[in-house]
Amino acid sequence: MKLKMLGTGGAINDGLPYNSFIVDSTLLVETPPDIMNSLYREGIERRDISTIYISHFHADHCFGLPFLLLKNFFDGFTETINIKGPRGINKWVQDICALAFGPENRMQGWVSKNVICEEIIEGMAIRVGKVYTLTPLRMFHSQETYGFNLNAGGKRLLYIADSYWDMSLLKYMDDADAVLIDLNGEKSDTVKVHISEDDLVKHALPYIKNREMIFYGTHLKASKVSSNKKIRYMKPGDEIMI
Ligand SMILES: [Zn+2]
Ligand SMILES: [Zn+2]
């Protein structure tokens, strides 16, 4: 599978495109406020996006959804869009679109007809498209948040969405082929809301048996580079082949 970064910024950042990525042009993960900018900048064909995954309802992960659906509506798309998200996803999609453009907007009917929402449940594997199996994993965050394991063709991508470090995350990492991970934490943080490079160095790297595995950092405050060979901070447009 090919993963392409559309943005790497966390909720508070220095002007980075907000965190989002797409798998094989069909599975879009997160729809941050600037998702349209990122999709166009990276040359993504919207018609190919059949599934959207939303990890949680914080604005930097989902407030761009009404703009994407509005554009698809105005372009006359009739393809079904499947949206996977936490408990209440169906009402949330309707509500945010109504809030964004008014409950009487013609787009609301289009959303009801063309968007199919499915609630994700911790540990419950779901099929995504023809080739993927996605298993939601509960993160450690202020709001109900789910990362995932994504399996396809014998390979596995682990996505650690917004989370602070917890030792129970380690069990997902060992035989993953790639880990895309919230590395928004900094050494200087007084309250640990997000995982930091230091957390990985201390709690994860010594225990990973797969020596080839790289941790790809996203959800950043600013663009950065790691001196650790096992940690690579992503930039918009970067691709990972798994
Ligand atoms: Zn976030
Ligand atoms: Zn969050």
Distance 194 CA to ligand 2 centre (A): 9
Is the pLDDT at 188 greater than 90, yes or no?
A: no
User: Which domains, ranges and CATH numbers included, belong to the chain?
Assistant: 2-241 (3.60.15.10)
Point out the ligand nearest to the CA of residue 30.
Answer: 1
Whole-model pTM? 0.97
In this prediction, residues 200-225 reach a mean pLDDT of 93
Is the pLDDT at 175 greater than 90, yes or no?
A: no
H/E run at residue 157: strand 155-160
State the pLDDT at residue 99.
Answer: 98
Distance 162 CA to ligand 2 centre (A): 5
**Residue 195 CB burial class (10 angstroms; 0-12, 13-18, ≥19):** buried
CB 23 within 8 A of CB 157: yes
In this prediction, residues 205-216 reach a mean pLDDT of 90
CB 57 within 8 A of CB 92: yes
Distance 106 CA to ligand 1 centre (A): 30
For 160-185, the three-class secondary structure string (H helix, E strand, C coil) is ECCCCCCHHHHHHHCCCCEEEEECCE
Token representation of residue 61: 């992960």
In this prediction, residues 35-54 reach a mean pLDDT of 98
In this prediction, residues 152-168 reach a mean pLDDT of 96
Distance 74 CA to ligand 2 centre (A): 30
Shortest CA distance to 180 belongs to which of 234, 114, 132? 234
State the pLDDT at residue 19.
Answer: 98
Half-sphere exposure of 42 (CA within 13 A, CB side): 24
Point out the ligand nearest to the CA of residue 56.
Answer: 2
Is the pLDDT at 33 greater than 90, yes or no?
A: yes
Token representation of residue 193: 């809301």
State the pLDDT at residue 187.
Answer: 81
Point out the ligand nearest to the CA of residue 219.
Answer: 1
Shortest CA distance to 60 belongs to which of 21, 14, 9? 9
Letter string b/e over residues 54-67, b meaning 16 or more CB atoms within 10 A of that residue's CB: bbbbbebbbbbbbb
Average pLDDT, whole number, for the chain? 96
Point out the ligand nearest to the CA of residue 182.
Answer: 1
